[in-house]
């Protein structure tokens, strides 16, 4: 079955103005899906939507929305209710690396809202329609740090652990209804999110966003969890099979402390 037949006419991608989100947009458009690009920066979204339409002959909707605004779903519904949205790519996220108390409570809560609350709101809305159609897909962008208690990124890692566990549960629950659920767990990736830190002391190198997005698209419908990159997979395997949780936390605490 072709990708478009399996997942419908439109894919909605959050965090679509940069990094992994841009690559999701490009690669899904290449597969023939129309795309709804959701992010805050209107100019970037319009530029990308024009490029995608011209290159792939698909329809691209630029939807400038702040997922931290209280009424963001009203704007999303207005733009998407007439459309057949069969694939939700919940990719927007926020990360803080540094001493816990150097980040304000307000920023901590924003991270929780963007990384957990916004995906929950989007999922509840779009999954109902997917169930009615008896087909659809969801990709959550989490992180390999979601497997590990991570000092100096404690809240971020906690939000990604939430998405991993939620995704595993939903994959089981929604699979019989024709809906594929995948959790993407990247390691370090060349994005705006990682541009302000020095990760040269890490055992793994930063991956390219296109390879990260491709790993998720290729795995959708075949797996529930995917971690792109050989070294990242080695680290996850060690975290699960070899090292204790205390050892993992201590090791990543040493790595992360060197990055800021």
Confirm whether 56 is a catalytic residue.
Answer: no
d(CA 17, CA 230): 27
Mean pLDDT, all residues of the chain: 95
**Is residue 1 very low, low, confident or very high in pLDDT (cuts 50, 70, 90)?**
low
d(CA 73, CA 85): 15
Identify the pLDDT of residue 38: 98
> What is residue 111's three-state secondary structure?
helix
Identify the pLDDT of residue 159: 98
The continuous run of DSSP H or E covering 7 comes out as: helix 3-7
Pick the catalytic residue: 96, 100, 156, 172? 156
Residue that is written with structure tokens 């079955």 in the block:
1
**Is residue 193 very low, low, confident or very high in pLDDT (cuts 50, 70, 90)?**
confident
Reported as a single tens digit per residue, the pLDDT across 132-145 is 999 999 999 999 99
> What is residue 247's three-state secondary structure?
helix
For residues 211-221, average pLDDT? 97
Residue 20 has pLDDT above 90, yes or no: yes
The continuous run of DSSP H or E covering 216 comes out as: helix 209-219
d(CA 127, CA 142): 19
For residues 25-29, average pLDDT? 98
Structural domain for 45, as ranges: 3-257
The pTM of the full predicted model, rounded to 2 decimals, is 0.95
Reported as a single tens digit per residue, the pLDDT across 57-79 is 999 999 999 999 999 999 999 99
d(CA 175, CA 240): 25
Reported as a single tens digit per residue, the pLDDT across 75-115 is 999 999 999 999 999 999 999 999 999 999 999 999 999 99
> Above pLDDT 90, what percent of the chain?
87
User: Residue 236 in contact with residue 248, Cβ under 8 Å?
Assistant: no
d(CA 13, CA 29): 11
Query: What's the CATH number where 149 sits?
Result: 3.40.50.720
DSSP assignment of 222-234 equals: TBSEE--SHHHHH
* Number of domains observed in the structure of the chain: 1
d(CA 172, CA 146): 20
Residue 197 has pLDDT above 90, yes or no: no
């Amino acid at each position: 079955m072709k990708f478009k037949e399996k997942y419908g006419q439109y894919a909605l991608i959050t965090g679509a103005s940069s990094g992994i989100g841009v690559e999701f947009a490009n690669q899904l458009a290449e597969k023939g899906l129309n795309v709804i690009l959701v992010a805050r920066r209107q100019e970037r979204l319009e530029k990308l939507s024009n490029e995608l339409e011209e290159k792939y002959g698909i329809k691209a909707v630029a939807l400038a929305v702040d997922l931290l605004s209280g009424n963001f779903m009203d704007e999303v519904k207005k733009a998407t209710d007439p459309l057949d949205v069969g694939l939700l790519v919940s990719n927007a996220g926020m990360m803080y690396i540094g001493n816990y108390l150097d980040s304000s409570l307000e920023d901590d809560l924003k991270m929780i809202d963007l990384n957990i609350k916004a995906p929950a709101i989007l999922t509840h809305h779009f999954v109902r329609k997917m169930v009615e159609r008896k087909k659809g897909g969801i990709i959550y962008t989490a992180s390999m740090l979601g497997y590990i208690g991570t000092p100096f990124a404690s809240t971020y890692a906690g939000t990604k652990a939430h998405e991993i566990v939620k995704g595993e549960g939903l994959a089981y629950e929604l699979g019989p209804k024709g809906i594929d659920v995948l959790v993407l767990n990247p390691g370090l990736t060349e994005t705006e999110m990682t541009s302000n830190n020095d990760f040269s002391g890490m055992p793994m190198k930063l991956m390219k966003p296109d390879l990260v997005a491709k790993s998720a698209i290729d795995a959708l419908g075949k797996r529930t969890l995917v971690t792109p990159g050989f070294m990242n997979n080695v680290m996850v395997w060690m975290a699960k099979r070899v090292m204790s949780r205390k050892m993992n936390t201590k090791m990543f605490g040493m790595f992360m402390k060197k990055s800021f």
